[in-house]
């Protein structure tokens, strides 16, 4: 009997409460994957014409994926609010405003890859509300350090559709099986190799990097001889890093002075996964990603995520 997302119920103290929510993520992933496959025939590629709160051009599929994800979170009945990259403010789910949990999500990460049929992803984390259940949740419920996250993960829309997640008991990968129309275990106990793999960074920014990162990266390359891979979608670059080893980094630079990647729905969930996979998740000034206390829903931070030795060699 194949192991499915139902198995999450047996994973530690958080498993029982997190399983139905992660099953909802799985339903959203199946819907989003189906939309992506046929998008070109629906004229759904390209820009939606608006900008998101990040000031980035919204893709048509960004908006659609956000709607699908929100609807599946609502349908679980366990989520009181969603913080989304595509929404300026916290989205309260009125009929479940008393529920215990909130989800932070980047519904379609790396969507600029869609026009060239390259991998994209969904990134999520789940936290327990701090506010009383008889009050409406608010953004303060989302501003929790990564150490308090109950579960996190990502969906990779590639040649197959994978859902990789952790409830604090290690990292497990599930692949959508079209023969049974469900996610089934394919990569149990994902652990980052201690050596080898690649460094993964947009080196075209090197002349703008802060924190002397150009010299630090040159030293990493000299010390380790790592090759370079960069897909331009965090989910794909992180998935390869966990499977093959190495490090993914997005330093601060003169254009993104506090970094480009978002703390709540990119850095924290991916940092949580990386630590659960036996790696290291650092931001700037020697601070671990999961120790940062968020101050705003769309706050950005520098990230250095990878094997312990690679991160330590880079950052010194
Ligand atoms: P750049 C996608 O827009 C994203 O948020 C991440 O998925 C990805 O790692 C990064 O930005 C890519 O940024 O500047 O290299 O295109």
Three-state SS sequence of 34-97 = HHHHHHHHHCCCCEEEEECCCCCEEEHHHHHHHHHHHHHHHHHCCEEEEEECCCCCCEECHHHC
Sorted by sequence, the CB contacts under 8 Å of residue 198 that are 6+ apart come out as: 226, 227, 228, 229, 240, 241, 244, 245, 246
List the beta bridge partners of residue 304: 249, 282
CA of 257 to the centre of ligand 1 (A): 15
Q: What is the pLDDT of residue 47?
A: 77
How many whole angstroms from 113 Cα to the centroid of ligand 1? 10
**According to the model, what pLDDT value does residue 54 have?**
73
CA of 110 to the centre of ligand 1 (A): 6
Cα of 281 to ligand 1 centre, how many Å? Answer: 17
User: SS3 letters for 206-261?
Assistant: HHHECCCHHHHHHHHHHHHCCEECCCCCHHHHHHHHHHHCEEEEECCECCCCCCCE
Nearest CA to ligand 1 atom 14: 202
Residues 163, 268, 15: CA angle, nearest 5 degrees: 50
The CA distances from residue 77 to 16, 64, 65, 72, in Å, are 15, 21, 19, 9
pLDDT value for 1 = 83
Q: Residue 53: its pLDDT value, please?
A: 74
Shortest-distance Cα residue to atom 9 of ligand 1 = 234
The pLDDT assigned to 237 comes to 98
**Looking at ligand 1, which atom is closest to the CA of residue 112?**
3
To the question of domain 198-315 being in CATH 3.20.20.70, the answer is no
Pocket of ligand 1, candidates 58, 199, 233, 306: which has the most ligand atoms within 8 Å of its Cβ, to mutate?
A: 233
User: Is pLDDT above 80 for 87?
Assistant: yes
pLDDT at 115 over 80: yes
Portion of the chain with pLDDT greater than 70, in percent: 100
Give the atom of ligand 1 at the shortest distance from the alpha carbon of 109: 7
> Is the C-beta atom of 202 inside 6 A of ligand 1?
yes
- Cβ(109) – ligand 1 distance below 6 Å: yes
Q: With a 6 A CB cut-off, is 232 part of the ligand 1 pocket?
A: yes
CATH 3.30.540.10 domain span(s) along the chain: 5-187
- Average predicted confidence (pLDDT) for the chain: 96
Could you give the CA distance from residue 152 to residue 103 in angstroms, rounded to a whole number? 9
> For 290-307, what is each residue's pLDDT tens digit?
999 999 999 999 999 999
At residue 18, the pLDDT reads: 98
Burial class (CB in 10 A: 0-12, 13-18, 19+), 316: exposed
State mean pLDDT over 43-51: 77
The first and second tokens of residue 303, run together, are: 């990230």
pTM exceeds 0.95 for this model: yes
Fold of the 5-187 domain: Fructose-1,6-Bisphosphatase; Chain A, domain 1 (3.30.540)
Residue with tokens 């460094």: 199
Is 45:62 a contact under the CB 8 Å cutoff? no
pLDDT of residue 51: 78
Q: Tell me the torsion sign for CA atoms 153, 154, 155, 156.
A: negative
- Structure confidence at residue 52 (pLDDT): 75
The band of 285, judged by pLDDT with boundaries at 50, 70 and 90, is very high
Tell me the mean pLDDT in the region 221-242: 98
pLDDT digits (tens, 9 = 90+) for 177-210: 999 999 999 999 999 999 999 999 999 999 999 9
Residue 260 pLDDT exceeds 80: yes
pLDDT for residue 45: 79
Average pLDDT over residues 214-233: 98
Helix (H) or strand (E) holding 185: strand 182-187
Atom of ligand 1 nearest to the CA of 110: 2
pLDDT digits (tens, 9 = 90+) for 124-176: 999 999 999 999 999 999 999 999 999 999 999 999 999 999 999 999 999 99
285 phi/psi in degrees, rounded to 5: 55, 35
- The residues of the chain that CATH labels 3.40.190.80 are 198-315
């Amino acid at each position: 009997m194949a192991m499915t997302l139902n198995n999450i119920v047996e994973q530690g103290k958080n498993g029982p409460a997190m399983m139905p929510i992660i099953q909802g993520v799985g339903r959203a992933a199946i819907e989003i994957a189906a939309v992506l496959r046929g998008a070109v025939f629906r004229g759904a590629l390209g820009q939606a014409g608006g900008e998101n709160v990040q000031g980035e051009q919204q893709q048509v599929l960004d908006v659609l994926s956000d709607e699908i994800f929100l609807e599946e979170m609502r349908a679980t009945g366990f989520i009181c609010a969603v913080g989304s990259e595509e929404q300026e403010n916290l989205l309260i789910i009125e009929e479940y405003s008393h529920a215990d949990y909130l989800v932070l999500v980047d519904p379609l990460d790396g969507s600029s890859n869609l026009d060239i049929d390259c991998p994209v992803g969904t990134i999520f984390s789940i936290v327990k509300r701090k506010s009383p259940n008889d009050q409406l949740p608010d953004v303060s419920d989302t501003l929790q350090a990564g150490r308090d996250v109950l579960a996190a993960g990502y969906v990779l829309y590639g040649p197959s559709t994978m859902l990789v997640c952790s409830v604090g008991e290690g990292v497990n990968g599930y692949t959508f099986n079209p023969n049974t129309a469900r996610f089934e275990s394919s990569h149990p106990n994902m652990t980052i190799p201690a050596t080898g793999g690649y460094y993964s960074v947009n080196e075209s920014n090197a002349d703008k990097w802060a924190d002397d990162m150009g010299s630090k990266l040159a030293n990493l390359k000299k010390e380790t001889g790592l090759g370079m891979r960069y897909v331009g979608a965090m989910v794909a670059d992180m998935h390869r890093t966990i499977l093959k080893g190495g490090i993914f980094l997005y330093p601060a630079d003169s254009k993104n002075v506090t970094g480009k990647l978002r703390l709540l729905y990119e850095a924290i969930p991916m940092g949580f996964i990386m630590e659960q996979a036996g790696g290291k998740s650092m931001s700037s000034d020697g601070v671990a990603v999961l120790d940062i206390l968020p101050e705003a829903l769309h706050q950005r931070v520098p990230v250095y995520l990878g094997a312990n030795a690679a991160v330590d060699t880079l950052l010194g």
